[in-house]
Amino acid sequence: MLKVKSTGKTAVAVCSRSFSKNPILRTELEARYPGTKFNDAGLPLKGDGLIDFLRGFEKAIIALEPITERILTALPEIRVISKFGVGFDKLDLDAMTERGISLGWSGGINKRSVSELTICFAINLLRHVSETNREIRAGTWRLKPGRQLSDQTVGIIGCGHVGKDLAILLRGFGCRVLAYDIRNFSKFYTTHGIEDCSFEKLLETSNIVSLHLPFDASTKNIISESRIRLMRTDALLINTARGGLVDEQALKSALKNGRLAGAAFDVFTTEPPDDPELIGLPNVLATPHLGGSTHEGILAMGRAAIAGLDQNCIPRPGLFPV
């Protein structure tokens, strides 16, 4: 059991723009921490700008801001970093551990928002919703038959909080669901009728492949050119997890030459994405990292971040965060 560490009721700096714009979260945080500093300018904070914003504060709420060793070295007063969201790939956890800086983090708090977006992507691509909408706006009325989600085999790579939630929703549609994870979730698979299979079999079999992995050295470009070649030519690839999981140049080539039917991405290696050719392809859907950005998801993430200011602990490899 990890020990909860609490530091005093000092003022807090909130880097996240969406948290700062939410009146409910602002009110709830200021009731506990008067004098909180918010990112009211709506600036994307990084590097020296992030250092300047956080200077003098003991506690911070961050979202996608990169917390590097250089940032932490420049801010020796920081004692607690609480995460607005679930991904921690932009946090230098080793540097936090070395300096005794605690992390406030809760997993799975936005899982339904992300899993619903994944289903939205799947139906949109299967039924050509965005494509035919563009055509109608351009004056073309063309019937383009699609496919039902209910009849598809969906492969979920990464069966954590979001992966499990998505699997349950897909079973409700009547989909055949395959799952791959390095962890053993056999009880969950049996309970919900999910098929545990190898990475290669999942890619070869699935009509839709959906990624739900963290990003680290072991998952970088895990969907490589060679693995894309294993996929069916009528398959769809969906990524609502983290940028960097897919070799985007290999993906673009596969989409252009018909080796893959379509892709939907909410996250990219570089954000905003710097490849207009990729996101401009007619068989690509792209959204600006909004998977958890529902009213409900933002409140859940924000309240977890507020709680994390007092309920937190120093990162411990293999134990926290999970």
Q: Which two tokens stand for residue 33?
A: 């921490």
Is residue 128 among the annotated active site residues? Answer: no
Q: CA 59, CA 276: separation in Å to the nearest integer?
A: 38
- In Å, what is the CA distance from 104 to each residue of 58, 131, 138, 308, 321? 13, 42, 49, 4, 9
Beta bridge partners of residue 60, listed in sequence order? 13, 81
- In Å, what is the CA distance from 137 to each residue of 125, 130, 140, 187? 18, 11, 7, 48
Catalytic residue among 112, 128, 147, 242: 242
The beta strand positions in the chain, using DSSP E, are 12-14, 37-38, 59-62, 80-83, 102-104, 153-157, 176-180, 195-196, 208-211, 236-239, 262-265, 284-286
Catalytic residue among 17, 112, 147, 289: 289
Give yes or no for a contact between 189 and 179, defined as CB atoms under 8 angstroms apart: yes
Give yes or no for a contact between 153 and 209, defined as CB atoms under 8 angstroms apart: no
Beta bridge partners of residue 37, listed in sequence order? 13
The beta strand positions in 58-129, using DSSP E, are 59-62, 80-83, 102-104
Is residue 77 among the annotated active site residues? Answer: no
* Nearest in space to 239 (alpha carbons), one of 125, 128, 146: 125
* Nearest in space to 219 (alpha carbons), one of 181, 189, 184: 181
Q: CA 297, CA 59: separation in Å to the nearest integer?
A: 23
Is residue 161 among the annotated active site residues? Answer: no
In the sheet where 37-38 sits, what is the strand order? 37-38, 12-14, 59-62, 80-83, 102-104
For residue 178, give the 3-state DSSP assignment: strand
Catalytic residue among 271, 295, 296, 316: 271
Catalytic residue numbers? 242, 271, 289
